[in-house]
Amino acid sequence: MRAQFTLTSGESKRLIAKGVKALPIVKKALAEHTIILAGGTTNAFLAEEILGITIESKSTYTVGNITEGKTGVSDELTRIYPFIISKGKPLGPEIHWKDYLSKLESGDIFIKGGNAVDHTGLAAVAASNLSGGTIGAAAGSLYVRGIELIVPIGLEKLVPDVREAVEFMAGHRPDEAMGDTIGLIPMLGATVVTEITALEALFPVQVKCIAAGGINGSEGAITLVMDGEDSVIKEALKLIYSIKGEPRVK
């Protein structure tokens, strides 16, 4: 059986969050290890799924954003700082995620949103901070300590070639910008979780993206088709219908 459906950007983020939570490595980390849930609007959905909380304005769970047609940053006064989740429970706000980097060990996970992904599965994140932002601060510890990096990212952020984009940006910082000037940092070796990965983590199905974009609130939407056994597809559709109507992220 095959089923076709369209997801808005907000619906995609909810689905991806559910898919990340369903990954075996994440389940194990929630039971036995520590997760640093870095900034990102999709990670705000993931915080809700894991911790059972509600974050009304998802943009408060990120530093950088692209809104109103330009690059910028969230309001520092309302910003929610990244959760450190140890054995399924959040540590107190007095412990900053940067201070915890030196404590990370095998089995722990770092989850970071991104701004670009390509067909090879390579993802990158934009940064306006001259020290490279979150990933600039964390990457050394993650790679040296062998910490799993997971990047939840929607297919609305699909670009032709991340490596080419990174190399193009690396040699010359923009001289002018609409909003904050950004650089692009690749996240090599990351486990990238898109809508496709999420559905395939949740159900034994095959999924393809067949169209993207839309109008009247469906800008950034994607249209997918999933294939599988009748009973599985019907079960997966129940989940899809349950997330339809997810509010637009703001």
For residue 115, what are its two tokens? 């701004």
Residues whose CB falls within 8 Å of the CB of residue 137, separated by 6 or more in sequence, listed in order = 98, 101, 131
For the entire predicted model, the pTM comes to 0.95
pLDDT one-digit tens code per residue, 140-185:
999 999 999 999 999 999 999 999 999 999 989 999 999 999 999 9
**Cα 1 to the chain's mean position, in Å?**
29
pLDDT one-digit tens code per residue, 168-180:
999 899 999 999 9
Measure the CA dihedral 81/82/87/89, to 10°: 30
**Cα 103 to the chain's mean position, in Å?**
23
Class of domain 10-197: alpha beta
- pLDDT exceeds cutoff 90 at 78: no
d(CA 128, CA 235): 42
pLDDT one-digit tens code per residue, 86-130:
999 999 888 999 999 999 999 999 999 999 999 999 999 999 988
29-33 average pLDDT score: 97
d(CA 37, CA 61): 10
Q: What is the pLDDT of residue 122?
A: 98
Q: What is the pLDDT of residue 17?
A: 98
Q: Which pLDDT band holds residue 49 (cuts at 50, 70, 90)?
A: very high
CA angle 117, 119, 122 (to 5 degrees): 45
d(CA 129, CA 3): 43
